[in-house]
Copies of this chain bind each other. A is one copy, B any other.
Amino acid sequence: MPTPISGFSKLTKEEKINWLATQYSFETKNTIAVLKSYWNNDTKLQQLHDEFIENTISNFYLPLGIAPNFLINQKLLAIPMAIEESSVVAAASRSAKFWLERGGFKSTIIGTEKVGQVHFIFKGNGEKLTNFFSEIKTKLLSSTKHLTQSMEKRGGGILDIVLRDKTDVLSDYYQLHCTFETKDAMGANFINSCLEQLAKTLKNEVKNYTGFTVGEQDIEVVMSILSNYVPNCVVKAEVSCPIKDLKVKADITPFEFANKIVRAVQIANVEPHRAVTHNKGIMNGIDAVVLATGNDFRAIEAGVHAYAAKDGHYRSLTNASIKNEEFRFSIELPLALGTVGGLTSIHPLAKLSLELLQKPSAEELMQIIAVAGLAQNFAALSALVTTGIQEGHMKMHLGNILNQLGATSEEKNILTKQFNNETVSHTAVADALKALKNN
């Protein structure tokens, strides 16, 4: 039975690993060797990665793949994707090529507004609070000057502060609802610093406001924090072509194919069980680029799925339509991204990914990532409404199992053919390989 530990974070990396191996008797005896085999030889580079977070013991590898041939707003890009799931990069590449030959992707920014809130409890007269707020609004703003100066130089800053009365949903609950423009920064640190300052100023001003009773002066700031729900930081991406150009397979006409895609999107709009998976596939493409460029995929995921549910019913992020012989396919989603700050320049591969993307502004990165999501959905739907997705998945799955079992190239060739019409499972493949070796 392991025992609790104090001061784990103060151990060296080696000591941490040794402690783990002693406490948790690993089945694999070479645990320590496995962990170390993932360390980088360059100790300085390794130290950089170790210090990104706390208690680091090794580097978890995600494959970094490339999807070339993306024509986005007339610019030809190769998109870096960090993802462990097979077929995602292949699907993106296939879509990119397909639409390259049909005019490419168009993407436009709809908004870039970020949000943050100071949540507080005020037990008193709401009208007095409103008057108080109008009187101190300028003071609130000016109290953040030392924080906003450099952002303002770059064209950003606090856009507005609004007092919101939320007492209809929770008694005595009010907000300072603040909107921000953070330009090429994702802005979390900037926004949170501003909000914490605003909360401080608010508390001070309330205390000094003679219009309040002593009870009213006793407001309680519950918390001050940015929101990952950014329904006004939105980008759109789209493709279109004459229906007749949608010849994808021998056994389906362009018109049938277009109709099936439209139908599949309609289904994702009315059936949440399908919508969630439909959007999950989109996020395969989105997150892979978010990760590769040093952005925070949890923030993106939360914002996107809440956006998909914004009208009270969880829906598809993409739209498909047929009009005047033309097929149109588009996506609209919120993406709060940064191309400066955070890990974007500190993680060498995030920096390299941004260079590969030609050092995009945050707005350009929003456009690129929205396109990656749209491309992913097009590939997924194309497979789903024609051959189904298992054909491709099973091929990759078989390859992974054969690698794991240490099959030779020759054995791989033979078994790939053999499993063309058989169900791939670990046991079935292991048995077949054994049989092959015994022959």
Cβ contact within 8 Å between A76 and B306: no
Q: How many copies does the complex hold?
A: 2
Q: Is the CB of B389 within 8 A of A225?
A: yes
Q: Residue-by-residue, is A342-369 near B (CB-CB < 8 Å gives 1, otherwise 0)? A: 0101111101100110110000000000
B309 adjacent to A51 (CB under 8 Å): no
A27-67 contact mask (Cβ, 8 Å, vs B): 1 or 0: 11001001101101110010111111111111111111111
A384 within 8 Å of B (CB atoms): yes
The verdict on A209 contacting chain B, using a C-beta distance below 8 Å, is no
- Asked if A219 is at the interface of the complex by the 8 Å CB criterion, the answer is no
Are A61 and B60 interface neighbours, CB within 8 A? Answer: yes
A393 contacts B267, CB within 8 Å? no
Instruction: Determine the chain B residues whose CB is within 8 A of the CB of A42 once the complex forms.
Output: 37
Instruction: Determine the distance from Cα of A110 to Cα of B416 in the docked complex, in whole angstroms.
Output: 40
Contact B352 A28 (CB under 8 A): yes
Question: Which of A189, A270, A284 gathers the greatest number of chain B CB atoms within 10 Å?
Answer: A189
A236 on interface, CB distance cutoff 8 Å = no
Nearest chain B CB to A174 CB, angstrom units: 11
Q: Is A243 an interface residue (CB 8 A)?
A: no
Binary per-residue interface labels of chain A (362-402) against chain B in the complex, 1 for a CB within 8 Å, 0 otherwise: 00000000000000000001001100111001100101100
Q: Are B227 and A355 interface neighbours, CB within 8 A?
A: no
Which of A56, A274, A305, A347 lies at the interface centre, i.e. has the most chain B CB atoms within 10 A of its CB?
A305
Q: How far is the CA of A146 from the CA of B301 in the complex (A)?
A: 37
Cross-chain contact B393 with A306 (CB below 8 angstroms): no
Chain B CB within 8 A of A279 CB = yes
Question: Inside 8 A of A305's CB, which chain B residues have their CB?
Answer: 301-302, 305-306, 309
Q: With a CB–CB cut-off of 8 A, which chain B residues contact A45?
A: 37
- 7 more A-B contacts (CB under 8 A) besides A38-B64, A60-B61, A84-B291? A24-B78, A85-B296, A223-B384, A225-B384, A225-B389, A283-B301, A283-B302
Smallest Cβ-Cβ distance to A61: which chain B residue: B59
CB < 8 Å neighbour of A312 from B5, B26, B38, B312: B312
- The interface residues of chain B lying within 8 Å CB-to-CB of A384 are 222-225
State the Cβ distance, A125 to closest chain B Cβ, in Å.
21
Q: Given A34-B349, A54-B86, A349-B58, A298–B283 Cβ distance below 8 Å?
A: yes
Supposing A189-B393, A298-B284, A356-B26 touch, asked if A89 and B229 sit within 8 A by C-beta, the answer is no
Measured CB to CB, the closest approach of chain B to A379, in angstroms, equals: 12
The reply on A244 being an interface residue by CB < 8 A is no
Residues of B near A397 (CB, < 8 A) are 189
Q: From B71, B76, B279, B390, give the contact of A196 (CB < 8 A).
A: B390
Q: Decide yes or no whether A73 CB sits under 8 A from chain B.
A: no
The answer to whether A53 and B86 have CB atoms under 8 Å apart is: yes
Identify A277's interface contact among B8, B66, B121, B228, CB under 8 A.
B228
Q: Please determine whether A66 and B55 come into contact, CB atoms closer than 8 angstroms.
A: yes
